[in-house]
Structure 1
Amino acid sequence: MHAPAQRIHPFDLSQLLSGARSVLPGLLLTAALAAFAGTVHTIRLFSGLSPLIIAIVLGMAFHNLIGTPVRAKAGVGFSMRRILRFAIILIGLQLTAQQVAQVGLTGLVLIAVVLGATFVFTKWLGRRLGVESKLAELIAAGTSICGASAVIATNTVTDAPDEDVAYAVACVTVFGGIAMLVYPLFPALLHLTPHQYGLWAGSSIHEIAQVVGAAFQDGKEAGEFATITKLSRIAMLAPLVIGLGLIKHYGKAAKHRRPVPLPWFVLGFVALVGLNSVVTIPAADKQAVAAFTAFLLSMALAGMGLETDFAKLRAKGLKPLLLGFAAFLFVAGFSLMLIELTA
């Protein structure tokens, strides 16, 4: 007589709880660092730094001075991957098709040309300088689109080591910070209109917080147009990441090809942009979602810091930093030239 067949439940609660317990210590650690980063950001001395940047610095300091506990590793990895992707999807609620339309066709073409030229230039110069291809690609993405968020989103298809991600984030942070301080000197020097200056800041400065910090110093009109321009630039993250995934797939020899690394979370980002374009979401709710999104991104960056070893960063030398500086000069100069010619 046969024993009754064991029923297999598609939803195994015990396995789910076990998985939750394994990631909880790391999640609590990254959440604590993200919360502390938000607190530090409120201090006047550090208010010019994005909480994302503060979070990765805190994570690196914790890991290299104290050490990341072994039992936190699973949760740290969960923050770096799953939470990051969910946060990028939520960024879609900060952008509408109507905002993109305000930039105009000429502005959108200019942003796309600057993005593409900066990405190609950075990759080319990276090869000439001998910078590792994956690291150069991350610096290219961070410089051409939207700083740290672009770096970590692009790495879903680049698949670079965590130290490369941290180095690329450091590059865009340093040079984006310099841009935030230096750009406000140019409207008067170059006789830029608020529209021109806003377009320049939005199309070339790395982080959105840095764009806001630089552009509003020239007035409300420049600041608002720079913000819209920057959000339109962020929207181009989706085609870039999908395009890179396709290139990496079809660029390999047939026998070495893996499935196309289609980043489904990017499609979620696009879907929420569409939803935000047709459904009116109360301003208070959007602000709450934006704050929650920033917190989740800070958790992801804190996780990145907790996986970053300073010794490995030092081993990469100064060439990637030089590449980040050259990319910064290129995106600033090339975008300004196009604006002077067209805007």
Structure 2
Amino acid sequence: MTHFPAVSSSKPAALAGCIPGIVLVAVITASAYGLRNLPFVSSLSPMITAIFLGMVFANIVGFSSSAEAGIAIAGKKLLRLAVAMLGLQLTFAQLTGIGITGLALAAVVVVSTLLFTVWTGRLLGVDRKLSLLLGAGTAICGASAIAGANAVTRAKDEDVSYAVACITLFGTIAMFLYPFLNILLGNDPQSYGLWVGLTVHEVAQVVGAGFQGGEAAGQVAIVSKLARVMMLAPVVIALALYVARSERNSGGRPAMTQVVPFFIVGFVVLVILNSAGYVPEQVRAPIVAVTPALLTAAMAALGLGTSFTKLKQRGFRPLLLSFLASVYIATAGLLLVNLAP
């Protein structure tokens, strides 16, 4: 049974109650960064490592109920803050490298992949919220997109962990497979980089696969990946509207903040300010540096809330859905790149 503090309790006391959970999340976050020196782990982003470490710790070691308050803050409020702060890493000028055609291709790939994943998930009988997380992670930018989508879908921690695991698996396969496939396909560096940026899941995986095709291919891959990341805001808003409509149909009354999430408004505002050059570099640089750490901490918290037993109950079908979504985005992206003028 959950006990809430009395109204007379002071704010310092409430904050003190969050310390054990925050310390635990901080330790797991630091461990995720420390493990980057290991051979295989170095190919994964700390966000992915952190969610797996959190899952292992929660299910093998465990933690007391005194840590729950701090973990909840890291997994929800810190997550929203970090997603909003991603806006300072993007500018509209960065997208000029792929032109109008590249931007159009990015939009088509993102929207069609999301729709394909949700539609296929319905056919396979996969839970709607888990399908949305898998679709967002595949279509946009992996774990960061899953985090943003989860902030409005409010899926279970097991769904988030399952989605991140799937994105990690198939994104890593793509990172190693794409360079070999391109030997058979014979794409030029521009086309190869565009294909990688439009279809590979995580930013780190895009870098790994893109620069295997040379410096020019790597640069194009990064820019086209940024075009997909820019789609995070409209996609999350669309998901929020979709969830709100579903709640209205079921008799609920969603709050306005659920329809237009404040953290996405913050994301858009920061992109605009950063693009216009209104954010001083001495302010922007530290925020950009700390944002990945905040996202990693949020993922660690979500991992701590994941039960292996409940994760196993999700079964094989969501994994199949993620595989089909990955095949779809790779195929659709390749066709679009080769058919585009």
- TM-score after normalising by structure 2: 0.92
SS in 1 for 2:63: coil
For the residue of structure 2 that corresponds to 1:47, the secondary structure is: helix
Q: 1:56 aligns with which of 38, 51, 57?
A: 51
In 2, Cα distance between equivalents of 1:287 and 1:56: 26
Structure 2: distance between partners of 1:30 and 1:86: 16
**Structure-1 separation of matches of 2:8 and 2:96:** 47
1:154 Cα shift? Answer: 0.5
Aligned equivalents of 2:41, 2:250: Cα separation in 1: 50
* Residue 314 of structure 1, aligned match among 293, 306, 312: 312
Q: What letter matches 2:215 in structure 1? A: K
Aligned residue in 2 for 1:328: 326
Per the TM alignment, residue 220 of structure 1 is displaced from its structure 2 partner at its CA by: 1.3
Q: 1:281 to 1:268 in 2, by over 3 A?
A: closer
Q: Is 1:301 aligned to 2:296, yes or no?
A: no
Q: Give the counterpart letter for 2:14 in structure 1.
A: G
In the other structure, the counterpart of 2:4 is none
Deviates more, 1:327-336 or 1:266-275: 266-275
Query: For residues 62-73 of structure 1, what are the structure 2 equivalents within 5 Å?
Result: 62-73=57-68
Match of 1:181 among 160, 176, 181: 176
Query: Which residue number corresponds to residue 338 of structure 1?
Result: 336
Q: Give the aligned partner of residue 149 of structure 1.
A: 144
Counterpart position of 1:18: 13
Q: Aligned pair 1:258/2:244, yes or no?
A: no
SS across alignment from 2:43: coil
Aligned length: 332
In 1, Cα distance between the equivalents of 2:250 and 2:310? 34
Quote the offset at 1:192 in angstroms.
1.1
**Aligned residue type for 2:254:** R
- CA offsets 1:205-256 (integer angstroms, 9 cap, x no match): 1111111111111111111111111112111110111111122223533953
Deviation at 1:85, TM superposition (A): 1.1
Q: Which has the larger radius of gyration?
A: 1
Deviates more, 1:42-51 or 1:208-217: 42-51
Contact 2:237 2:261 in 1 (8 A): yes
2:91 and 2:240 map into 1 onto residues whose CA distance is 25
CA offsets per residue over residues 134-193 of structure 1, 9 Å max, x none?
A: 111111111111111111110122111111111111111110111111111133321212
- Give the corresponding residue for 2:267: 269
Contact 1:186–1:192 (Cα < 8 Å) also in 2: no
Q: 1:138-217 to 2 correspondence within 5 Å? A: 138-217=133-212
| SS across alignment from 1:256 | coil
Opposite residue 311 of structure 1, the aligned amino acid is T
Contact 1:250–1:257, Cα closer than 8 Å, also in 2: no
Q: Tell me the C-alpha RMSD between the 2 structures.
A: 1.9
Asked if the contact 2:88–2:271 (Cα under 8 Å) also holds between the matched residues in 1, the reply is yes
- Please give the secondary structure, in 2, of the residue aligned with 1:192: coil
Q: What do residues 263-304 of structure 1 show as CA deviations (whole Å, max 9, x unaligned)?
A: 111111111111221227687875543331111111000001
For the 8 Å contact 2:273–2:279, the answer to whether it is kept is: no
> Which residue does the alignment assign to 1:75?
70
Residues in 2 aligned to 1:285 and 1:183: alpha-carbon distance in whole angstroms: 38
| SS of residue in 1 equivalent to 2:301 | helix
The sequence identity of aligned pairs, in percent, is 45
* Whole-Å separation in 2 of the counterparts to 1:214 and 1:281: 32
Unaligned runs of 5+ in 1: 1-11
Give the C-alpha shift of residue 103 in structure 1: 2.2
Distance 1:286 1:150 in 2: 22
Q: Match for 1:256: what amino acid?
A: G
For 2:129 and 2:188, locate their aligned partners in 1 and report how far apart those are by CA, in whole Å.
38
* Residues 29, 300 of structure 2: 8 Å contact kept: yes
Gaps of 5+ in 2: 1-6
Find the counterpart in structure 2 of residue 35 from structure 1.
30
Residue identity in the other structure for 2:319: L
